[in-house]
Amino acid sequence: MAFDSKKLSLIALALAASAPALAEEVKTEAVIVSHNGGQLAARTRQGDVTIQVNSSTRIREVSGLSKKTRDAKTLIPGLIIQVEGDQQGDTIQASEIDFKTKDWRSAIATKAGTSEEFAKNAQQLSELRQAIIDGQEYVIQQEATVYFATGKATIAPEYQAQLRALAQKAPSYGNYRISILGFADPRGNAEANERLSLKRAMAVSNFMRQSGHIEPGRVLSPSAMGEGTQAPGEAAPASDAEARRVVVRVVTPKTQLTR
């Protein structure tokens, strides 16, 4: 039987294209971006890679001529590593990973510094948030009140327009923050009303953060004020309809905070 050589060539090319790429041995330097279980997201000079680490992967800390075996917990973000293994596509099955002691210490210091700054910033925002709730040391630059239907936390279209206008104006006040206080009417269970007041405040907070006009970090955590309470300087609601509300305020601290 005669075979068409052209057809055979085409078949061979198709089979080659469909076959998975063969793994190749690699040894490369990488920086760990994140560590999730046995998988490292890392960056090399050639681009981003995924490094698979398992129980057979040898991990060593190198200090001069000394090499100590370590476990996968030492592979932290920011650490520079030397990895050996089989690479297929963008994934490396690691057989060996080495890192220098000085690089590990540098990564730890960077991680600790970042955590410390985050905690410090969170504490500052928490203190400011409480000061605003207590009515201390801040100036109200602009505010809006959003009213809700009974048992609901959906923002009506007319209030969405007000919130967009407030968000657009807020950056003009410079060192501003957005305070969001949620309330409920006194009917029903007090605990349920507090949860509902938080749900309303969170709905407004999410809307403000997604407006595209303000930095999300300037929106303070929404507060659940429950029933029968008022925002500082606010007149008491005259009806249940007025009690079902979220008060949104653009405030600037009298004591300047770092931008």
The stretches of the chain forming alpha helices (DSSP H) are 5-18, 101-134, 157-169, 190-209, 240-243
> Residue 184 carries which side chain, given as an amino acid letter?
A
Which tens digit of pLDDT belongs to each residue from 95-154?
999 999 888 877 776 655 455 545 555 555 566 556 665 655 678 899 999 999 999 999
Strands 223-227 and 177-184: parallel
Classify residue 254 as exposed, middle or buried by CB count within 10 Å of its CB (0-12, 13-18, 19+).
exposed
The stretches of 75-178 forming alpha helices (DSSP H) are 101-134, 157-169
Which tens digit of pLDDT belongs to each residue from 211-252?
888 887 788 888 888 887 778 778 888 999 999 999 999 988
Of 2-6, 11-15, 164-168, 219-223, highest mean pLDDT: 164-168
Q: CB under 8 Å to 174, separation ≥6 — which residues? A: 252
Q: Which fold has domain 132-253?
A: 60s Ribosomal Protein L30; Chain: A; (3.30.1330)
Q: How many residues does the chain have?
A: 259
In this prediction, residues 11-38 reach a mean pLDDT of: 73
CATH of domain 18-107: 2.40.50.140
Which tens digit of pLDDT belongs to each residue from 184-217?
999 888 888 889 999 999 999 889 888 888 887 7
pLDDT of residue 56: 92
pLDDT of residue 235: 85
Output the CA–CA distances (angstroms, integers) from residue 208 to 161, 175, 205, in the order listed.
Answer: 11, 17, 5
* Average pLDDT, rounded, for the chain: 81
Q: Domains of the chain: which residue ranges?
A: 18-107, 132-253
pLDDT of residue 27: 93
Do the domains 18-107 and 132-253 sit in the same CATH topology, yes or no?
A: no
